[in-house]
A and B are shown apart, each in its own frame.
Chain A
Amino acid sequence: ETGVTQTPRHLVMGMTNKKSLKCEQHLGHNAMYWYKQSAKKPLELMFVYSLEERVENNSVPSRFSPECPNSSHLFLHLHTLQPEDSALYLCASSHDRLTANYGYTFGSGTRLTVV
């Protein structure tokens, strides 16, 4: 496999459920990101990991919990979400935090619906 792979592609969950989104990159990149894309809104940066260390957390509610066990994998653990959390969640990677200047590679995203 190449590029950035996200699973699942689609997820429907109740507000009391716990689920996890998974991202895997096969590019040898050292920085990984979670973005949220809501309808008709710009992408919102949620978390940044550089060399497996969280370097940015953009005031994201605690019901979203990221995990980066190694430089190739990134998870987003979800619990007690709200309907307004329904969105497309995109994982991205770049060679490192500084070479985000050269652009990101995005995964295909997880379309999340909270019911």
Chain B
Amino acid sequence: RKEVEQDPGPFNVPEGATVAFNCTYSNSASQSFFWYRQDCRKEPKLLMSVYSSGNEDGRFTAQLNRASQYISLLIRDSKLSDSATYLCVVTDTGGFKTIFGAGTRLFVKA
């Protein structure tokens, strides 16, 4: 089993749609969780951290389910500019080991 697993997609959605990505992780001792966004041929950029209580930033909502060892990212009212690859990132206790998922591709179409 991969340490961090994501559905590679691609997800093709129309503008205005709501789309959700899941990411599962294998290490139950994992401590910190993130979603990064990577545009084509660009570097990853931190989108948001994921907290146990869930957190929201505008149209983006991230949630963590420790019992089932997955995190999710929900994007509401999708924009064309949301088209990108979304990377799930998990770090262990102390931040000494950071594992990146392979990413989920999202295409938002007009």
Assembly CA distance A105 to B36 (angstroms): 11
* A12-53 vs B, Cβ < 8 Å mask (1 yes, 0 no): 000000000000000000000000000011110100000000
Assembly CA distance A40 to B8 (angstroms): 9
Specify which of B4, B41, B46, B101 is in contact with A104 (CB 8 Å cutoff).
Answer: B46
Specify which of A40, A45, A100 is in contact with B95 (CB 8 Å cutoff).
Answer: A100
Distance (whole angstroms) from the CB of A74 to the closest CB of chain B: 15
Contacts of A103 in B (CB 8 A): 34, 36, 46, 49, 89
Specify which of B31, B34, B44 is in contact with A43 (CB 8 Å cutoff).
Answer: B44
Q: B residues engaging A (CB < 8 A)? A: 4, 8, 31-32, 34, 36, 41-46, 49, 87, 89, 91, 94-96, 98-103
Question: Is A108 positioned at the interface, with any CB of B under 8 Å from its CB?
Answer: yes
Interface SS of B by simple majority = strand
A99-B4 in contact (CB<8A): no
Question: Is A60 positioned at the interface, with any CB of B under 8 Å from its CB?
Answer: no
Shortest Cβ-Cβ A-B pairs, 5 listed: A106-B43, A100-B95, A43-B100, A103-B46, A101-B32
A90-B91 in contact (CB<8A): no
Assembly CA distance A98 to B102 (angstroms): 23
- Smallest Cβ-Cβ distance to A6: which chain B residue: B43
Assembly CA distance A105 to B41 (angstroms): 16
- Smallest Cβ-Cβ distance to B4: which chain A residue: A42
B49-A42 in contact (CB<8A): no
Contacts of A111 in B (CB 8 A): 41
Contacts of B8 in A (CB 8 A): 40
Assembly CA distance A54 to B13 (angstroms): 44
- Smallest Cβ-Cβ distance to B2: which chain A residue: A42
Assembly CA distance A45 to B91 (angstroms): 12
- Smallest Cβ-Cβ distance to B3: which chain A residue: A42
Query: Given A43-B44, A103-B89, 10 other A-B contacts at CB below 8 A?
Result: A42-B103, A43-B87, A43-B100, A45-B98, A97-B95, A97-B96, A100-B95, A103-B49, A105-B46, A106-B45
Contacts of A100 in B (CB 8 A): 91, 95, 98
